[in-house]
C-alpha cells in the first residue's frame, strides 16, 4: 500500500472517531449552540448491551449528534434557511412583521385563540381563595404582560384573519373573575402604555422591566403582610441605554442559532443594589409561576428581597437558596402525602405569589391548588 493511501485511510479513521477523541481529550466545540441540548452521552459498554444491540444503536445516535463541528453545521443551515426562506428551526418561534420574533402561544393569547371556559377560570379562582383561607396565608396573583399583546401591531399577518379573534380574551376573564376574590397585581395593564417593555428579539419582558416588577410585587406584598414584615426593594443606582442586549433580552434570537446578530431596539438598563432590610423583618415567600419569574429569582429575590424563600417553577421544580436538590418536585422536597400536609407546607410561608404571563393563563395555576388530583 502506498504512503498516500495510508495517509488517506488514517485521515478517514480520524474523522470517524473525532467525537470519541474530542471527549477523551476534552476538546471544546467551537460556536456552541443555545437552547435545549440534544447531545447524547457516550453509551456504556457491557456484554448485555452489545448482545441486545443497545450499544451499537447508542454509538450510532452518539456519532449522529456529537460530531465536533456540529454547532458550525447547524448554524450554517439555520442562517441559510432564515436568510433565504424566512424559515426558523427553533421550536414555536414565528417571525412577525418587520422581523419581530414571537413564540406562537403569545400570539394566540394576544388574539384570544387559546381560551378556556369562564366557568373553569371561576373554579380555579375559588380553589386559590380556599387554599389561602385554609392555610391562613395571603396570596398575591400577578398577571404579567405578554409580548404578543404588547406588540400587537407586529403580529404575523397570517394569524389576523381568524374570525374567532377576541383580543386578550384569557387575560380579561382572569382579571374580571379574580379581582373580586383575590389580591391581584395587574402588571399586564400597568405596562400596556409604557414604551420598550419587551425586546424585539426576546420573549420575556426586558431586564429593566424585571426590576420594576420586583418592586411592584414588593409594594403589593406590603399591603397584605403584617406590619412587622417588609420585603426589600431593588434600588436603582444608574440608568443607561444600549443596543447591545443583556440577560434575556435576545433569548429567542439566541435560540435561532444564527451566525449574524439581528438588529435590536435600543433598550434601557438599570444598575441596582438591594435595599438593606434586616433578615428577620423580611418575609418568607413562595413564588409559583412560569419563566417570567426567573428574572426576579436570578437577581436574588428569594434570599436578598425575601428570607429563605422558594420558587416552584410551573409547580414542578423547586428552587431556592436552601434547596439542595434543585428542580425536584414540591412533593419530594417537602414530603407531603395528603391535603392536610400540603396546607401545612403552604402555612410555613408568610405569603404566596402566583405569577403567570398571558400565554400560560389557560393552564394557570398549573394544578397548584389540586396537588393530588382531587
What residue spans define the domains of the chain?
Answer: 3-68, 93-360
Are 70 and 40 a contacting pair, CB within 8 Å?
A: no
- Torsion, Cα of 286, 209, 300, 308 (10° steps): -20
Residue 91 has a pLDDT of 83
**Predicted TM-score of the model (pTM):** 0.85
**Are 149 and 165 in contact, with CB atoms under 8 Å apart?**
no
> Please, which residues have CB within 8 angstroms of residue 188's CB and are 6 or more apart in sequence?
143, 144, 145, 146, 149, 168, 171, 175, 358
Q: How confident is the model at residue 232 (pLDDT cuts 50, 70, 90)?
A: very high
Over the stretch 112-143, which tens digit does the pLDDT of each residue have? 999 899 999 999 999 999 999 999 999 999 99
pLDDT, tens digit, 9 for 90 and up, residues 24-35? 565 556 567 776
Decide if pLDDT at 19 tops 60.
Answer: no
Mention every residue, 6+ apart, whose C-beta is less than 8 A from residue 10: none
Contact 88, 146 (CB under 8 A): no
Joined together, the cell numbers standing for residue 340 give: 392536610
Q: What is the pLDDT of residue 18?
A: 62
Query: Binning pLDDT at 50, 70 and 90, where does residue 71 land?
Result: confident
Provide the pLDDT for residue 373: 59
Amino acid at each position: 500500500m502506498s504512503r498516500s493511501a495510508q495517509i488517506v485511510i488514517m485521515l478517514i479513521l480520524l474523522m470517524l472517531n473525532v467525537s470519541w477523541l474530542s471527549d477523551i481529550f476534552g476538546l471544546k466545540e467551537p460556536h456552541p449552540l443555545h437552547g435545549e441540548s440534544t447531545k447524547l452521552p457516550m453509551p456504556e459498554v457491557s456484554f448485555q448491551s452489545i448482545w441486545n444491540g443497545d450499544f451499537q444503536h447508542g454509538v450510532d445516535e452518539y456519532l449522529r449528534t456529537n460530531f465536533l463541528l456540529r454547532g458550525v453545521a447547524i448554524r450554517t443551515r439555520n442562517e441559510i434557511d432564515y436568510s433565504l426562506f424566512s424559515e426558523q428551526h427553533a421550536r414555536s418561534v414565528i417571525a412577525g412583521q418587520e422581523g419581530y420574533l414571537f413564540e406562537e402561544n403569545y400570539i394566540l393569547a394576544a388574539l384570544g385563540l387559546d381560551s378556556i371556559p369562564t366557568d373553569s377560570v371561576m373554579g380555579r379562582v375559588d380553589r386559590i381563595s380556599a387554599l389561602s383561607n385554609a392555610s391562613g396565608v395571603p396570596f398575591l396573583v400577578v398577571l404579567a404582560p405578554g409580548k404578543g399583546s404588547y406588540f400587537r401591531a407586529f403580529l404575523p399577518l397570517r394569524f389576523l384573519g381568524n374570525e374567532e379573534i377576541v383580543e386578550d380574551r384569557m387575560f380579561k376573564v382572569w382579571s374580571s373573575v379574580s379581582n373580586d376574590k383575590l389580591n391581584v397585581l395587574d402588571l399586564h395593564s400597568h405596562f400596556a402604555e409604557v414604551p420598550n417593555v419587551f425586546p424585539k428579539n426576546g420573549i420575556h419582558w426586558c431586564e429593566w422591566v424585571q426590576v420594576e416588577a420586583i418592586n411592584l410585587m414588593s409594594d403589593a406584598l406590603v399591603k397584605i403582610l403584617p406590619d412587622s414584615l417588609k420585603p426589600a426593594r431593588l434600588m436603582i443606582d444608574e440608568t443607561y441605554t444600549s443596543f447591545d442586549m443583556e440577560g434575556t433580552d435576545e433569548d429567542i434570537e439566541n435560540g435561532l442559532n444564527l451566525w449574524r446578530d439581528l438588529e435590536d431596539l435600543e433598550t434601557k438598563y438599570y444598575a441596582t443594589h438591594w435595599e438593606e432590610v434586616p433578615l428577620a423583618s423580611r418575609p418568607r415567600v413562595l413564588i409559583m409561576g412560569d419563566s417570567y419569574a426567573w428574572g426576579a429569582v436570578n437577581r436574588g429575590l428569594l434570599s436578598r428581597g425575601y428570607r429563605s424563600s422558594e420558587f416552584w417553577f410551573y409547580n414542578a421544580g423547586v428552587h431556592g437558596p436552601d434547596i439542595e436538590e434543585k428542580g425536584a418536585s414540591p412533593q419530594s422536597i417537602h414530603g407531603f402525602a395528603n391535603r392536610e400536609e400540603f396546607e401545612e407546607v403552604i402555612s410555613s410561608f408568610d405569603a404566596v405569589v402566583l405569577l403567570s404571563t398571558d400565554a400560560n393563563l389557560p393552564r394557570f395555576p398549573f394544578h397548584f391548588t389540586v396537588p393530588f388530583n382531587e
